[in-house]
Structure 1
Amino acid sequence: MTFNPNGIDRRVPANSDGAVPAGSVIILSASAGAGHDGAANELADRLRTHGFQVRLYDLADVLPWGLGRVLRGTYRGILTRASWVYGLLFAIGNTFVGSAPATRFLLRPARQRILDRLPADIRLVVSTYPIASQILGPLRRDGRLSVPVVTYLTDFAVNRIWVSPGVDLHCAAHGTTRSEALALGAGNVHVTGRMVADRFRPGSARARVRARQRFGLPAQGRLALLVAGSWGVGEVERTAAEIIRSRAAVPVVVCGRNAPLYRRLRRLGLGYVLGWVDDMADLLRATDVLVENAGGLTALEAMATGVPVATYRPIPGHGRANAVTMARAGVSSWIRRRKELGPILDELIEGERGSRQREAGLRLFESDPTQWINELVRREERALFIPSSSHTLRALRSGMVADVASRMLTGWGVRRGRSPRRYRTRTPARAGKRSG
């Protein structure tokens, strides 16, 4: 696959017959923080430019018995109040070889609920959340889901729960991510780049001045944007105080939806404190460096905006895993010790380290993952066309071809006086009713 070297081509591509791709795409995400949903929303917007009808489903609404909302609340509670517990569970899940098969077994009741939500014109299903991949992969592997399944790896680091057999394409951010996915047994992993909204791009000096005025920030001086996800988790107060003591920059802290954190920081006077920010792109352009603790969506947005990224005091679990992989990829600096905080922030803001990271981060956005996904659908479509004496017919999916052959044999048997067999009509979304 080739890409436009001068930037991302957002024109709607045509199929081989000149028609715009038709059909529906389902994106299955999870409202566990803003990162997974953010990726799903941007993916949906871009796939629509390719002519698809896109529907987004929240895993919390798919799991039976209200289990999804219970798990989401439990996850948030553990992450904000006892993050060490989450870190322990993450480590066990990533170390224990049977964690992914066990997860797939426990999620079996959700499989039929997914199938029941698929429209008749379904062409593709995408997962932006690891547990969702554990539901979709077995459906695809067992033939119950006959359209391609794509896992969009939102994290730089890959754990065992991200990898599920049956997935047709894994979209990785970087070569380091691809290597980790392959080591865990993932098939067909490609470095497809990353995507954020178009408004996240480097700004001019004038745009920087305007952004600082808009947020009430000083016109002069170095500013470090401190983020901790939409829930404001981690050692935010301690990090803000240590940035101030380092004298490398003044922190601008975004608390997200964590109102108690916002009130505490305002009371303590730890830098410039903001709550939920709708225009993160403008705020990024106002600052000199991003300090984060999870390797989430804001880190990607900073890279696209040309702001160097530092990971400091990462949260347990995926935060520390992402810190390792991002640093290895050269898109972030993992600051492991407090005494390193000031010197590394200095290097990122004004030194060669910052220049290298800006270049490495911007390269992630030179290609568009939706072009890979669109090509996968087009290959599947071309494989379903067989020539006829008068016109081109869309072939039925592999399971349906066998079904048609069986019907032909049954008809022959009836004419020969044999007992007919019963066959159930199969829809394009379901190639069989076997349990998996």
Structure 2
Amino acid sequence: MQSNSCVLILYASYGDGHLQAARSLQESLLSQGIKRVLLLDLMAEAHPFINDLTRFVYMQSFKTIPHLYGWVYHITRNMKAESPFSNWLHSFGIRRLREVLEQERPQLIVHTFPQLALPHLKTRWGLTVPLINILTDYDLHGRWLHPHIDHYYVPSQAMRSEAIQRGVAPAHITVTGIPLHSSFEAIPVEAEARLHKRKQLRLEAGLDPDKKTVLLLAGAYGVLKNVRDVSEVVAQREDAQLVIICGKNEPLRRDLEKRYGSLDNVQVHGFTRRMSEWMLLSDCAVTKPGGITVSECIRCGLPVFLLRPVPGQELANALYLQQQGIAEVCQSPALLAHALSDMLDQPQRLDMMRQQMEQLQMPDAAARIAGDLVTRYMKQTTLGTKLAPIPVLQGNARTANVEQ
């Protein structure tokens, strides 16, 4: 690989999923021999105040205005790339993008978040660098679609079919799953091997290897509602045990430790980098259906219970899981408690859900995407040819300093 090989990955910090996917792909591209793989949080660097404000609104939308967020998501789901709203939405960060392109001269640009300023400017700037989208949810929002995107990597066959119906050429779509942290890719593919590992991990965590184990994920920032109500369902059962991950919500962690600290069948943890282990040792999970979390559950063969999914991409993810027979979507804590108790009383139903999950397994998504990107777009460099770097800007770009 030539020393000038460079890939730029654009992500956003609205939740942790887009960054996780970007980092996973970065690691895989580096292992493929790409010399430089740069991550850019475009909104954070270009418009820090707007970024902080919109992140705050995004987080609050889960707590106070979920239906407003869902309404906006729904009415813009079929937005067109050439619409005025689309042009405005993708207009942020242009100046910072130009600076990065002129300085780094990437040979490939990847989006793990649909901030598509470059596709909108491809003709105006004379861009020749390939533009790639990696979708990180199970619902196809119009923000991701643009005629100047060269290739899409999507999480499911259903999304590929919908993208084709909405005008994307079949040759420009590959079904790969969603890139996950390398710890998830190390999980055994075979169900029996995962079962053996599950009991081993329970012993290492100080849990009973034979008790039904429920994992409650409050989210990276501890925003899952009604955590305490859900916890009571399992805490009161003698045949089950509960692991609660509170993320970065320290007040919640302290409150739950005070409440359940004396119980042998409940463990409470804060932020963790061992999520793959906690998921693998569990029989089912109560969580919010972010795209990355959903994909991690599928990878671990972990059936999920979802409480009042937020309208928008998370509700769409939830409905997708329910259609696949691997999730229970509940609209109240009482209904979730009833569904969870029924499932724990009927372990054969959990087994059926796990078997269904086997059909959806897509391991090594990041490695497969990275390999395909190198083959499609950087093969000349990989083979050691002496081709000049692909120009980033040309034509009438006023501030470009590009060697011809």
Query: TM-score range with shorter-chain normalisation?
Result: 0.7 to 0.9
Deviations 1:288-339 (A, max 9, x none): 1223222332332232233334444323322111112233456x32334624
Q: Does 1:297 align with 2:292?
A: yes
Q: Does 1:260 align with 2:251?
A: yes
Which residue identity lines up with residue 362 of structure 2 in the other structure? R
- 1:5 is aligned to none
Deviations 1:168-222 (A, max 9, x none): 1111011112233344444522212333233220355664344224433333310
Q: Does 1:61 align with 2:44?
A: yes
Residues 121 and 106 (structure 1), Cα distance of their counterparts in 2 relative to 1, 3 Å cut: closer
- The TM-score with structure 2 as length reference comes to 0.80
Distance in 2, matches of 1:291 and 1:248, equals 18
Answer whether contact 1:62 1:114 (CA < 8 A) is retained: no
- 1:170 is aligned to 152
- 1:158 is aligned to 140
Q: Does 1:357 align with 2:356?
A: yes
2:216 to 196, 215, 226: 226
Which residue identity lines up with residue 328 of structure 2 in the other structure? W
Answer whether contact 2:42 2:96 (CA < 8 A) is retained: no
Say which is worse superposed, 52-61 or 294-303, in terms of deviation: 294-303
Aligned ranges 1:119-198 → 2 under 5 Å: 119-130=103-114, 132=115, 134-187=116-169, 188-198=172-182
Distance in 2, matches of 1:319 and 1:423, equals 40
- Partner of 1:117, secondary structure, is helix
Distance in 2, matches of 1:394 and 1:198, equals 33
- The TM-score with structure 1 as length reference comes to 0.75
Q: Does 1:70 align with 2:60?
A: no
How many aligned positions are there?
381
Answer whether contact 1:28 1:128 (CA < 8 A) is retained: yes
2:272 to 268, 277, 298: 277
Residues 424 and 232 (structure 1), Cα distance of their counterparts in 2 relative to 1, 3 Å cut: closer
- 1:94 is aligned to 77
Which residue identity lines up with residue 257 of structure 2 in the other structure? R
- Superposition RMSD on alpha carbons, in Å? 3.6
Aligned ranges 1:377-388 → 2 under 5 Å: 377-378=377-378
Which residue identity lines up with residue 254 of structure 1 in the other structure? I
Residues 361 and 321 (structure 1), Cα distance of their counterparts in 2 relative to 1, 3 Å cut: same
Answer whether contact 1:59 1:68 (CA < 8 A) is retained: no
- 2:373 is aligned to 373
- 2:329 is aligned to 335
1:375 Cα shift? Answer: 2.4
Distance in 2, matches of 1:360 and 1:344, equals 21
Deviations 1:134-180 (A, max 9, x none): 21221235444320111110111121222233111111011112233
Distance in 2, matches of 1:141 and 1:248, equals 63
Which residue identity lines up with residue 282 of structure 1 in the other structure? E
Distance in 2, matches of 1:99 and 1:148, equals 20
Identity over the aligned pairs, expressed in percent?
26
Answer whether contact 2:20 2:181 (CA < 8 A) is retained: no
Distance in 2, matches of 1:344 and 1:184, equals 39
Say which is worse superposed, 190-199 or 121-130, in terms of deviation: 190-199
2:316 to 312, 321, 326: 321
Distance in 2, matches of 1:375 and 1:94, equals 32
Distance in 1, matches of 2:318 and 2:63, equals 19
Distance in 1, matches of 2:167 and 2:94, equals 22
Residue ranges of structure 2 left out of the alignment (5+ in a row) = none
Residues 345 and 104 (structure 1), Cα distance of their counterparts in 2 relative to 1, 3 Å cut: farther
Say which is worse superposed, 283-292 or 168-177, in terms of deviation: 283-292
Distance in 2, matches of 1:273 and 1:99, equals 49
Residues 341 and 32 (structure 1), Cα distance of their counterparts in 2 relative to 1, 3 Å cut: same
Distance in 2, matches of 1:128 and 1:423, equals 26
Which residue identity lines up with residue 118 of structure 2 in the other structure? L
Which residue identity lines up with residue 23 of structure 2 in the other structure? N
- Max Rg structure: 1
Which residue identity lines up with residue 19 of structure 2 in the other structure? D
- 1:409 is aligned to none
Answer whether contact 2:79 2:143 (CA < 8 A) is retained: no
Answer whether contact 2:43 2:50 (CA < 8 A) is retained: yes
- Partner of 1:230, secondary structure, is coil
Distance in 2, matches of 1:135 and 1:299, equals 28
- Partner of 2:8, secondary structure, is strand
Distance in 2, matches of 1:61 and 1:307, equals 34
1:428 Cα shift? Answer: 5.8
Say which is worse superposed, 161-170 or 373-382, in terms of deviation: 373-382
- Partner of 1:116, secondary structure, is helix
1:28 Cα shift? Answer: 0.8
Which residue identity lines up with residue 47 of structure 2 in the other structure? P
- Partner of 1:368, secondary structure, is helix
Deviations 1:219-275 (A, max 9, x none): 331011121321222323333344557998443221111123223433443943221
Say which is worse superposed, 102-111 or 348-357, in terms of deviation: 348-357
1:363 Cα shift? Answer: 3.5
